Amino acid sequence: DACLERIAAVDDRISAYITVTADLARQQATDADRRIAAGDASPLTGVPMQIKDLLCTNGIATTCASRMLAEYIPVYDATAVARLREHGAVLLGKGNMDEFGMGSSTENSAFFPTRNPWDTGRVPGGSSGGSAAAVSAGAAPFALGTDTGGSIRQPASFCGVTGLKPTYGRVSRYGLVAYASSLDQVGPIARDAADCALILQSIAGHDSRDATSLPDAVPDYSAALTGDISGLRLGVPSEYFAEGMDAGVRAAVTAAIDQLAALGAEIREVSLPTTQYALACYYIIAPSECSANLARYDGVKYGYSHQGDGDMWEAMERTRQHGFGPEVKRRIMLGAFALSSGYYDAYYHKAQQVRTLIRQDFAHVFEEVDALAAPVSPVVAFPIGERTDDPVRMYLVDVYTLPVNMAGLPAMSVPCGFSNGLPVGLQLIGPHLSEDRLLNIAHTYQ
């Protein structure tokens, strides 16, 4: 009830929710009370949550913030959602986002933009902007977001909350509406690392319904929060402090790294030379996968369908013309071009080769250090409308988050102070399946 009241009090200013499931939440909370009384509770039983609208929820609209799926009601839960429900978490509603996860500011939602609770004239980041804004505004204790190139970490950093993008394959993608399948991951956005540990505990682990989900055992993440990081070798990649970053972001992140040193970490400067190619490489690979994944929205199988007098081809064309927003169309065109005969080798194949180099860069530095510390984004939350006319300027906001997805690594965004009164995020990056280590570094710092 407190969460529903809070949503009613703030969401007309923040617009973090596409759907609020108030009646269902009350019902689920009553069931949770019963479970607690019967001694059958987990730490998440009765804890309310928001779910990004890119994750399927049985019987509840899952729009992906697109006109294409505005009326779509799935008949099953995504695995991550189902696992949280099994633990007794209570669904408050579905989070606003950039259409199909494509964007960095939540301004690409087909319905309305979300506003940053710290300054409602500014964006909350994206694409999981509704999730980060809801947690930041107290309109959900935690949320599930998704991260293809930064969509958990960057909004978490812009809104001053903690976000974790797990190792690719750590959390099942079953029921996550696909954007770029080799990059997409589901993860928590919450107030701190201890909460993220509890949430990851319940959603991680193998799922036979996702062929890319990892079989590795899930460690006890809460037990890993020892508060001791003495002797930790922490690398600081020089390429992540390039020209053009806000001086306030640099100062806050540098101060956080000093603090980690004071807590016992041994700081080493390292180099990730292929960082400069990551943005170009991502914007070939992600749109290519997007163009294939979004081919399914043809007006026949599900979602919006344009019914006119013309033939099948016209129906398909009009469906996609009216159903998709401008950024989604741009990505589909970029991807279809990069994959087309004659250009495939020059663009897509080349990008895959560069992706291998990026992965190798990380593998080399992780021979020397246990984790990396860097900024999440070179900037803080920017004014609504500032970057909408210039896609490349929008893409640049994610320059420090994209490489992690190219390499499939886990990474976190941890609040580390302010620049001009707006939150700054410290990014912690680790080798594959080092979520327990990252959570402990974040917890020790917090």
Which is catalytic among the residues 15, 104, 127, 434?
Answer: 127
Nearer to ligand GLN, 149 or 188 (CB): 149
DSSP 69: G
208 in catalytic set: no
Task: With beta carbons less than 8 A apart as the criterion, state whether 434 and 371 touch.
Answer: yes
Q: Do you find a cis peptide bond into 202, omega within 30 degrees of 0?
A: no
Nearest to 284 by CA among 354, 218, 372: 354
Nearest to 408 by CA among 445, 444, 366, 380: 366
**Residue 165 backbone dihedrals phi, psi, to 5 degrees:** -100, 110
Taken as a whole, the chain contains a residue count of 446
172 in catalytic set: no
Spatial strand order in the sheet of 90-95: 17-20, 90-95, 48-52, 142-147, 185-190, 162-165, 411-419, 422-429, 371-375, 233-237, 266-270
Provide, rounded to whole angstroms, the least separation between the CB of residue 311 and ligand GLN: 34
Nearer to ligand GLN, 21 or 106 (CB): 106
Nearer to ligand GLN, 101 or 188 (CB): 101
The per-type count for the chain, helices as H runs and strands as E runs, is 14, 11
Distance, in Å, from the CA atom of 167 to the CA atom of 407, rounded to the nearest integer, reads 9
Provide, rounded to whole angstroms, the least separation between the CB of residue 400 and ligand GLN: 12
Provide, rounded to whole angstroms, the least separation between the CB of residue 41 and ligand GLN: 33
Nearer to ligand GLN, 46 or 187 (CB): 187
Provide, rounded to whole angstroms, the least separation between the CB of residue 395 and ligand GLN: 7
Provide, rounded to whole angstroms, the least separation between the CB of residue 52 and ligand GLN: 10
Nearer to ligand GLN, 127 or 167 (CB): 127
Provide, rounded to whole angstroms, the least separation between the CB of residue 210 and ligand GLN: 18
Provide, rounded to whole angstroms, the least separation between the CB of residue 238 and ligand GLN: 24
Nearer to ligand GLN, 62 or 104 (CB): 104
Distance, in Å, from the CA atom of 397 to the CA atom of 70, rounded to the nearest integer, reads 28
**Residue 343 backbone dihedrals phi, psi, to 5 degrees:** -110, -15
Tell me, what amino acid is at 256? A
151 in catalytic set: yes
H/E element holding 81? helix 79-86
Nearer to ligand GLN, 25 or 294 (CB): 294
DSSP 372: E
**Residue 106 backbone dihedrals phi, psi, to 5 degrees:** 65, 10
Nearest to 418 by CA among 119, 121, 97, 16: 119
Nearer to ligand GLN, 177 or 439 (CB): 177
Distance, in Å, from the CA atom of 257 to the CA atom of 249, rounded to the nearest integer, reads 12
Tell me, what amino acid is at 324? F
Which is catalytic among the residues 131, 151, 157, 288?
Answer: 151
> What CA–CA distances, in Å, run from 286 to 72, 331, 383, 422, 438?
24, 8, 26, 30, 26
Residues paired with residue 411 on neighbouring β-strands, in sequence order: 165, 429
Provide, rounded to whole angstroms, the least separation between the CB of residue 234 and ligand GLN: 25
Provide, rounded to whole angstroms, the least separation between the CB of residue 398 and ligand GLN: 5
Residues that bind ligand GLN (CB under 6 A): 101-104, 127, 147-151, 179, 286, 398
Which is catalytic among the residues 15, 52, 157, 172?
Answer: 52
Nearer to ligand GLN, 127 or 419 (CB): 127
CB atoms within 10 A of CB 327: 18
Distance, in Å, from the CA atom of 70 to the CA atom of 423, rounded to the nearest integer, reads 32
Task: With beta carbons less than 8 A apart as the criterion, state whether 28 and 90 touch.
Answer: yes
**Residue 315 backbone dihedrals phi, psi, to 5 degrees:** -60, -40
Positions annotated as catalytic residues are 52, 127, 151
